[in-house]
Amino acid sequence: MATCVRLSTGAEMPLLGLGTWKSSAGQVKAAVMAAIDAGYRHLDCAYVYQNESEVGEGIQQKIKEGVVKREDLFIVSKLWCTFYDKPLVKGACQKTLTDLKLDYLDLYLMHWPLGFKAGEELFPADDKGMSVPGNTGMLDTWEAMEELVDCGLVKAIGISNFNHEQIERILNKPGLKYKPACNQIECHPYLTQEKLIKYCQSKGIAVTAYSPLGSPDRPWAKPEDPSLLDDPRIKEIAAKHKKTPAQVLIRFHIQRNVIVIPKSVTPQRIVENFKVFDFELTKEEMATILSFNRNWRACVLDMFKILKEYPFNAEY
């Protein structure tokens, strides 16, 4: 059974990775170490998660113990939106590399298709609480991303939260040097993303699913929001396979050839989430799970909505 996706660059990207969004300092180093011990070789990070330095400590510890070598690992990070001005891109990447204690990244993503005003604040807002945009277009930022490949800081570049119209603009850019290797998007049975996944895969762009369990620990969750892990229909399929609902939700992506990055800081769950290569959902079960789609997003980010490049107004 395939455990990797081949990127357009020729590199192999593990289908299963550890997500680190919302993993707090004090917990994430141990989570990374537990994940590497459990067999994970792909770690998903980002500057804006504010925990890369601890992630780096966990990686270094495991390299020092001889459990893995750097080249065994596939490390992803993301350029935050306040660094989209061309002169800021390289420094932002170097800061991430310093924090992670690495000399290159396997994949570096533009975190959103929209730039914010540069400065200290991660989420610059006006007095109405709405995001303040930057002045750099995504195609200019993309050129700076391409330069990171040329100077050896990153092996591949990609995007996150881009809709298909925004991807088209990059693919059609005059003088494009490297096309995006991957698009990381929210995806789970309540947001199945069939059109966007089909589009990306048809263009040779791999897809990574974030919040595959529906992000139950998102800070803005409301009690009335739907809960995937408690969905009786998912529980029923899990019981049939003697697996947990989380394992079924992860396996669902793997069978679509979609990379998946469940987040956990609980060692037992980190191990459990990796045990998804020893069973297969039937065609009928896959079709049933796809039928749960209701275009529900855990990550809507209302403060971004006024920005011209807000990606979620498009159908896909």
Which of the residues 47, 49, 190, 310 is marked catalytic? 49
C-alpha–C-alpha distance, residues 153 and 86, integer Å: 16
DSSP 117-130: --SS-SS-B-TTSP
C-alpha–C-alpha distance, residues 51 and 31, integer Å: 12
> Among all chains, which residue has been given the structure tokens 């994970």?
40
Torsion of CA 252, 55, 112, 276, to 10 degrees: 0
C-alpha–C-alpha distance, residues 25 and 99, integer Å: 13
> Among all chains, which residue has been given the structure tokens 């995806």?
187
C-alpha–C-alpha distance, residues 112 and 97, integer Å: 20
Name the 3-class secondary structure at 208.
strand
**49 catalytic residue (yes or no):** yes
Angstrom CA distances, 103 to 65, 71, 205, 226, stand at 19, 11, 25, 41
**Which residues are CB-neighbours of 226 under 8 A, at least 6 positions away?**
190, 214, 294, 296
The token pair at 27 is: 């917990």
Q: Annotated active-site positions, please?
A: 49
